[in-house]
Amino acid sequence: MGQHFLTDVAVAEHIAQSLAASEVHDVLEVGPGTGMLTQLLLKREDISLYAVEVDTEAVEYLLQHFPELAPRLTHGDFLKMDLPRLLPESFCLIGNFPYNISSQIFFKVLEHKNRIPEVVCMLQREVAVRLAEKPGSKAYGILSVLLQAYYSIEYLFTVDEQAFAPPPKVKSAVVRLTRNGVQSLPCNETLFRQVVKTTFNQRRKTIRNSLKPLLGDAMAAITSHHLLDLRPEQLGIAAFVELTNTVEKVNPEFSESELPASFSGS
């Protein structure tokens, strides 16, 4: 399932200590596996730990070794879970995210951003760098923009391959996301996501060329806009907000259903 189990106690302790959980009491661990991080989180008296694990054998192991977690351990797929039903109040998120679904986890975080004030996670180093990257870098992309619009992101530390069993072929890293003060963007947020995805899905093109499939004939109304000759990795959050408002101004009837299928992915 793309999971590599953490075996280094020192790294696990560093991750557990990196979670501030200052605003809320409930914490959800995604994919606890063999419980290396779980055992440390259970010792924290300032949090109430919940966990969700998709692997049946791992669930059985956790129930056997951490029976106190049983009432708050859910056997299921985090990506398919009804989070408000599991945790009605706000909660923090923590875990060693499986490499193959880390991006999908973050998109789910964005869906519940007003209920998740903090995320501490370990993931592939390449993805961690991308999340925290600033405009102007080739690593800066869709997730960089969408997450940084609502979270402050810190790259905390790198984790070597030897800290896992089996060892992955790449290095890992731990990042912390802390909800910023932005409750909503000063634009149509659905359209904002569409503009970001559309431009980055053709990131070698200038904004002028990547927006053509989205705007069609309406493109003629903004041909002199100062952002059009830039590439998406050059735009910060404020610039994407400005671009979104410009797109909506020339095509106020634009709806999500009009987004070409090729631009609907992450």
Joined tokens for residue 129: 């760098």
By C-alpha distance, which of 189, 168, 17 is closest to 97? 168
Whether domain 189-263 has CATH 1.10.8: the reply is yes
The boundaries of every CATH 1.10.8 domain in the chain are 189-263
The answer to whether residues 176 and 18 touch, using CB atoms and an 8 Å cutoff, is yes
List the pLDDT tens digit at each of the 266 positions of the chain. Answer: 556 789 999 999 999 999 998 878 999 999 999 999 999 999 999 999 999 999 999 999 999 999 999 999 999 999 999 999 999 999 999 999 988 899 999 999 999 999 999 999 999 999 999 999 999 999 999 999 999 999 999 999 999 999 998 898 999 999 999 999 999 999 999 999 999 999 999 999 999 999 988 888 888 899 999 999 999 999 999 999 999 999 999 887 765 444 443 333 33
Give the CA dihedral 36, 40, 41, 45, nearest 10 degrees.
Answer: 160
Q: Superfamily assignment of 5-179 in CATH?
A: Vaccinia Virus protein VP39 (3.40.50.150)
pTM: 0.91
Say how far residue 24 (Cα) sits from the centre of its chain. 19
What is the 3 state secondary structure string of 55-116?
Answer: CHHHHHHHHHHCHHHHHHEEECCHHHCCHHHHCCCCCEEEEECCHHHHHHHHHHHHHCCCCC
DSSP state of 158: E
CB 104 within 8 A of CB 97: no
Decide: 203 and 141 in contact? Cβ < 8 Å.
yes
DSSP 3-state assignment of 216?
A: helix
Residue 218 pLDDT: 87
Q: Where in the chain is the domain with CATH 3.40.50.150?
A: 5-179
